[in-house]
Each structure stands twice: as C-alpha cells, then as structure tokens.
C-alpha cells in the first residue's frame, strides 16, 4: 500500500476548514485510509489500493471534505473540447497498445504543486500502474509540443533523444542500459523489437514510455501553465481511470481540462471522459447487508458524503473512482459514511455446533502422552535448507526448493522433522541435560504431498535404543495401536540399532540411535535416540 506525505496546509485549504488534530486523526482513519502520522506540516497516510484517487492533496481533500460534510455530493468537472489529436499507430500494438490523453491549461505551478504532481504520478505508477507495467503517465509542457502527437513504436537504435537527468543524447537501447531509470524499468521493454514513443508534429520525441521523458520537451517547470498528459498501457479502461485521477487533481488546482481526440486505427476516442457512471442500488439489499434500517433520504445523504449522487434508486459515481464494480462497493461507501464506530456489534442467535478437527484432537492426545514423559514440545519452521536436511544427515534425498526465496537458510521444504530438532539441540547445548524434545508438524514429501509428522529426540548421557523404544511403547499403548519393528539401516542411525515402525503391515515411521557422524555434523556432544512417524497414518489406522 502506498504511503503518501500530504501537505497539511494545502489539504486544509482545499477542505476549506481547519480541523483540530484529534478530530482530523479520527476522521482520516475512519474515511478508509490508514493514518501513519500527522505532523505540523504533513499528513502521512497509507492509501488503500482501491482508492488511487486519494493519492494527491487534491483527491484526498476532495474525499475528506465530502466525508465531513463540507462539500458533499458529486463534483462537476467540465471538459472543454480541443480540436487537437493524438494518432496511435499500429506499430505500438505489440508493445503498448493504448493511450488516453488530455490537455490541462490555466495552471500555476509552484514548487509545492510540482512536488504534488510528481507524487501522484509516482504513486500511481507503483500501485495502480503496477510499477508502470499496467499504466505509465507522462506530463509535458504544452508550449513545446506541436499537434498532432503520434504514438508509435520504432527499433531502439532509431530512437534518439536526451532523456531526463541526462546531458547527452542516447538511443533507446542505451537508455535501458545506461540511464538509471532506464535500467530500473528495462525489463518492461527489452524483450521487444520496437520501443514505443510519443513524438510531435515537429518530430521532437516527447518520451519513451513507460521509461522516461525527454529532457528538452518533457520537463515541467514553475513557468509551465499548460500541460499535455498521456497515460499508456494495455487496458484502455484502466488508462482512462488513471487519466481521470490526474486531470481531476489538476482541475482542483484550478486547471481547465481539454479533451483530445485519439485516432486509433479503427476508431476514434475522445478523452478524458468525466461523465459519471450510473449504478442501480437496491435499498433493501443495503439495509440487509449492513444490518441497519436506513431510510432512502439517509442513504442519499451517506452516498453524498462519499462524493456520489443519488436519485431515484440510481447512483452516479464520480469518474475518478475505479473501485466500484458492484452494488456492494457502494454499500461499503455507505457504511464508511455511516461510520464504522456507529455500528452496534451483534451476535446473532444462530445455533451451530462447534467441533475441532480430528487431527487436532489426535495431536493433542499425542502431546499429552509425551508431556507425561517430561518431553518438551518445540515448533520449527516449515522451510529449511539443503545442508540441514541432506548434508548434515548424510543423505541425498530429493528436495523441493521454493522460488526466489529471500532467505537462503529457508529455501527448501522440510521433508522430515528430525533435522530441525537436531538443529534445536545444537543451539541449546549450554543447558542442562537430559534434553528430551518433540515436534508435530507438516512435512512435504518429494511429490510435495503433505502429512503431519511426529518426531521425538531424547538426548542425555545414557540414552540408547531402549529408551526411545520405551517412549514408542507408551505412545502406542495409549493410542491402542499394536506395532512391530523391523530392522532397517538409515544413513543417520547406527547400523543394527535402528528400524522401521510397522503398523498393520504399513511402514509408518522409524526409530534408532543417532549415528555419531551425524551428531558430530551437528556439533553435538551427547548421544541421542530418535523416533519419527507419520501421524496421518496412525489416524487412518485408528479410523479403519
């Protein structure tokens, strides 16, 4: 979730009222943003991904002022017609097929405004634009551009311009290889033969989206008063929303919005389109879902407090909102306006019978038996590593690694619990012996099948096979499961002092005295006897 730092004074100006700190904190939290902090200068707030329209001071203040009842209802944003056009050529179809564009005039940029525009752009890129993959935004000083602007794709070698923050001209390839921003986003383009470009009627390159603007034509300064805005990406609807969010923010800085005609190969679109969407609302459904008894007039008022307009069971939704997919989304807006703090919690009189899973109950019985033997339960991670699972255990089992693990020590699914318990013992050598421990947990076999495993390790001076077999005896007799032991060798046990545990002719586990080589691998100075068995197979036996 993106965190934005909003200029507090600017927000207060836009809201049109200065709120005291406690009230402001409360209202911001209850509006549906996660407040981090409010300082003298800033409101630091996390904006949820469903409300990208609130990433700017303008959008945030717009929502807040409606919410606290100062400016409720739908805002009217006028779009004037310009006769300028943007031509989208076929060549972009493979790389970045769509764009939505607009012009905004009558702006007065100062340092604050520019910062705020850059912030919306950046935050939209990260979340809504999925790191520029889904949507990327470019803003350019209008006076340097001659229409019609073309959206085209060219081989990277043929693209030459001076990118922002650079002194020299580079070609498309060089930008991806050398320019810091180019390197960061290179993966979005470098698999393509052609890279997309906005280029004006004077053949000046505006930008190479979604990477970077041109230094000469694509830099906003405090002298800029009119801007050309484009959003490019793969989904026209999304780009429209993105554009709407930007232009309405600029309009709230007193900008005047002008539309552009987009000439696609087969059709022409005019953007931005700020016509509110309409959705029907079933008032009974509202009250049923919320557990309230709201009258139509109340619902109308609550919707207006979220910036909507209500008339006759129909809701007009502002064009910068991208998150209203279903009636239920409007109901949530009603709930927010009503105030979550005003809902009275209720436990309904619905009778159902509670029950734990059989596995839970069974594991508890095992734990009780083992605790009676003074064993201590441990709990380790499901992820481990090859050294722990194979090398230290003197074995070469097939292991399953996870993808792109950030922790190299935890990049492999554990296939049995014993290595983890030995690691625990190796970290606890300074404490008193006997150290008798156990764990129950999920392990993953080489086919990534899961089962619950039980592992017990007894470590003390005189421990031997008898002592672990005694534990097995206690456990199996309390569970009333007869078993047999068959001799078998394991790399981690002493030959002739280990075997498999057999229940109903099925192998369900193993037990034995730990091989001294393994003990040494774990840096252990005390002998240990071990058993590990499959809990699910015990349950199957008991249920059969």
Partner 1 sequence: MPYVKKVKIKGKEYWYLFHTVREGNKYLKKSKYLGKELPKNIEEIKKEFLTGIREPSSKHSKLIESLTPLERKVLPLLSKHTKLSSLVKETGLKEIEVMRSLQWLSNKEIIKIKKITREVVKLDKNGELYLKKGLPEKRFLSALDKPRTMQEIMDIANLDKNELTVSLGILKRKNLIEIGKEIKKLKEDSSIRKKEEFLKSLPSPLKDLDWGIITELKSRKEIIKEDIEKEREVSLTSLGKELLKENLKINLLESLTPEMLREKSFAGKKFRRYDIKINVPRIYNGRRHFVNQAIDYARRVWTDLGFKEMSGPIINTSFWNFDALFQPQDHPARDLQDSIFLNEKGELPKFFKDKVKDMHELGYEKSKGWQYSWDEETAKKLVMRTHTTVLSALTLSELKKTDLPAKFFAIGKNFRNETVDWSHGFEFNQTEGIVIDPNANFRHLLGYLKEFFKKMGFPEIRFRPAYFPYTEISCEMDVYHPIHKKWIELGGAGIFRPEVVIPLLGEDIPVLAWGPGFDRIIMDYYKINDIRELYKNDLKVLREMKVWLK
Q: Which of residues 369-388 bind partner 1 (CB under 8 A)?
A: 370-383
Instruction: Give whichever of 491 and 527 is closer to partner 1, judged by the CB atom.
Output: 527
Provide the 10 A C-beta neighbour count for residue 237.
10
CA neighbor of 414 nearest in space, from 445, 391, 440, 439: 445
Instruction: Give whichever of 157 and 358 is closer to partner 1, judged by the CB atom.
Output: 358
The C-alpha atoms of residue 19 and residue 21 are separated, in whole angstroms, by 6
Binders of partner 1 in range 439-458 (CB under 8 A): 442, 444, 448, 450
DSSP track, 147-195: SSEEEEEE-GGG-EE-BTT-SS-EEHHHHHHHSHHHHHHGGGTTTSSSE
Nearest distance, CB of residue 327 and partner 1, angstroms: 6
Contact with partner 1 (CB under 8 A) among 293, 297, 312, 352: 352
Instruction: Give whichever of 130 and 183 is closer to partner 1, judged by the CB atom.
Output: 130
Contact with partner 1 (CB under 8 A) among 25, 27, 44, 50: 50
Contact with partner 1 (CB under 8 A) among 313, 343, 484, 525: 343
Q: In the chain, what is the greatest distance between 2 CA atoms, to the nearest angstrom?
A: 93
The C-alpha atoms of residue 59 and residue 43 are separated, in whole angstroms, by 14
Query: Per-residue x/- marks for partner 1, 387-406, CB under 8 A?
Result: -------------xxxxxxx
Cis peptide before 434 (omega within 30 of 0): yes
349-358, Cβ contacts within 8 angstroms, sequence gap of 24 or more: 358/539, 358/543
Q: Which residues pair with 103 in a beta bridge?
A: 228, 258
Instruction: Give whichever of 364 and 396 is closer to partner 1, judged by the CB atom.
Output: 364
Spatial strand order of the sheet with 3-7 comes to: 3-7, 42-47, 33-38
Residue 410 φ/ψ region, left for φ over 0, alpha for ψ in the -120 to 50 degree band, beta for the rest:
beta
Contact with partner 1 (CB under 8 A) among 20, 76, 346, 462: 346
Contact with partner 1 (CB under 8 A) among 78, 191, 203, 344: 344
Q: Which residues pair with 263 in a beta bridge?
A: 87, 268
CA neighbor of 149 nearest in space, from 193, 98, 85, 94: 85
The C-alpha atoms of residue 2 and residue 4 are separated, in whole angstroms, by 6
Nearest distance, CB of residue 64 and partner 1, angstroms: 13
Q: Read off the tokens for 62.
A: 């717009």
351 binding partner 1? (CB under 8 A): yes
Contact with partner 1 (CB under 8 A) among 42, 327, 445, 540: 327
Binders of partner 1 in range 464-493 (CB under 8 A): none
498-502, Cβ contacts within 8 angstroms, sequence gap of 24 or more: 498/465, 501/472, 501/531, 501/533
The interface region with partner 1, picked from 55-63, 189-197, 427-435, 460-468 by CB under 8 A, is 427-435
Binders of partner 1 in range 67-96 (CB under 8 A): none
Binders of partner 1 in range 502-531 (CB under 8 A): none
Nearest distance, CB of residue 500 and partner 1, angstroms: 26
The C-alpha atoms of residue 243 and residue 232 are separated, in whole angstroms, by 10
The C-alpha atoms of residue 320 and residue 323 are separated, in whole angstroms, by 9
Contact with partner 1 (CB under 8 A) among 30, 68, 164, 472: 30
Nearest distance, CB of residue 357 and partner 1, angstroms: 4
Instruction: Give whichever of 215 and 410 is closer to partner 1, judged by the CB atom.
Output: 410
Q: Label the pairing between strands 493-503 and 506-514.
A: antiparallel
Give the count of residues interacting with partner 1 (CB under 8 A): 84
Binders of partner 1 in range 255-284 (CB under 8 A): none
Binders of partner 1 in range 201-230 (CB under 8 A): none
Nearest distance, CB of residue 456 and partner 1, angstroms: 11
| Angle (nearest 5°) at CA 108 between 106 and 112 | 145
Rg value, the chain, Cα: 33
Instruction: Give whichever of 30 and 476 is closer to partner 1, judged by the CB atom.
Output: 30
Contact with partner 1 (CB under 8 A) among 21, 22, 167, 347: 347
The C-alpha atoms of residue 450 and residue 133 are separated, in whole angstroms, by 37
The interface region with partner 1, picked from 86-94, 309-317, 335-343, 500-508 by CB under 8 A, is 335-343
The C-alpha atoms of residue 97 and residue 11 are separated, in whole angstroms, by 37
Contact with partner 1 (CB under 8 A) among 20, 76, 341, 480: 341
Instruction: Give whichever of 32 and 59 is closer to partner 1, judged by the CB atom.
Output: 32
């Amino acid at each position: 979730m993106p965190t934005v730092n909003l200029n507090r004074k600017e927000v207060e100006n836009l809201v049109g009222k200065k709120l005291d700190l406690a009230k402001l904190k409360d209202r911001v939290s209850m509006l549906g943003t996660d407040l981090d902090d409010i300082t003298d200068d800033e409101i630091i707030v996390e904006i949820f991904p469903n409300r990208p329209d609130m990433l700017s001071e303008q959008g945030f203040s717009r929502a807040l002022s409606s919410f606290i009842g100062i400016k409720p209802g739908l805002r009217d944003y006028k779009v004037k017609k310009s006769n300028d056009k943007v031509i989208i050529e076929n060549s972009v179809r493979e790389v970045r097929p769509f764009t939505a564009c607009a012009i905004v005039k009558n702006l007065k940029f100062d340092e604050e405004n520019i910062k705020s525009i850059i912030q919306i752009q950046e935050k939209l890129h990260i979340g809504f634009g999925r790191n520029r993959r889904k949507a990327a935004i470019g803003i350019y000083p209008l006076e340097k551009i001659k229409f019609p602007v073309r959206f085209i794709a060219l081989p990277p070698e043929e693209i030459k311009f001076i990118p922002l923050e650079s002194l020299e001209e580079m070609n498309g390839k060089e930008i991806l290889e050398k320019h810091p921003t180019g390197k960061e986003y290179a993966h979005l383009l470098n698999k393509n033969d052609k890279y997309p470009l906005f280029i004006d009627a004077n053949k000046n390159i505006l930008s190479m989206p979604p990477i970077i603007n041109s230094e000469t034509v694509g830099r906003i300064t405090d002298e800029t008063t009119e801007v050309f805005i484009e959003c490019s990406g793969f989904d026209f609807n999304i780009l429209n929303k993105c554009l709407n969010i930007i232009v309405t923010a600029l309009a709230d800085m007193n900008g005047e919005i002008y539309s552009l005609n987009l000439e696609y190969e087969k059709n022409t679109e005019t953007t931005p389109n700020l016509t509110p969407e309409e959705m029907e609302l079933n008032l009974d459904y509202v009250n049923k879902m919320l557990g309230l008894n709201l009258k139509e007039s109340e619902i109308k008022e609550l919707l207006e407090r979220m910036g909507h307009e209500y008339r006759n069971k129909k809701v007009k939704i502002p064009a910068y909102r991208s998150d209203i997919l279903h009636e239920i989304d409007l109901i949530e807006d009603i709930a927010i306006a009503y105030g979550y703090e005003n809902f009275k919690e209720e436990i309904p009189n619905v009778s159902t019978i509670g029950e734990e899973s059989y596995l839970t109950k069974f594991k508890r019985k095992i734990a009780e038996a083992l605790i009676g033997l003074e064993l201590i339960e441990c709990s380790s991670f499901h992820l481990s590593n090859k050294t722990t699972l194979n090398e230290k255990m003197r074995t070469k089992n097939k292991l399953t690694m996870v993808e792109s693990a950030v922790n190299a020590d935890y990049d492999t699914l554990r296939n049995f619990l014993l290595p983890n318990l030995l690691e625990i013992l190796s970290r606890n050598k300074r404490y008193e012996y006997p150290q008798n421990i156990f764990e129950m947990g999920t392990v993953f076999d080489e086919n990534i099948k899961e089962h619950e495993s039980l592992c017990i390790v007894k470590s003390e001076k005189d421990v031997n096979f008898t002592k672990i077999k005694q534990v097995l005896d206690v456990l199996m007799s309390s569970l009333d499961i007869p078993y047999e032991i068959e001799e078998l060798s394991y790399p981690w046990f002493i030959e002739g002092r280990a075997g498999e545990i057999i229940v109903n002719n099925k192998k369900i586990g193993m037990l034995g005295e730990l091989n001294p080589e393994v003990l040494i691998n774990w840096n252990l100075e005390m002998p240990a006897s071990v058993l590990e068995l499959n809990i699910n197979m015990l349950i199957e036996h008991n249920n059969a």
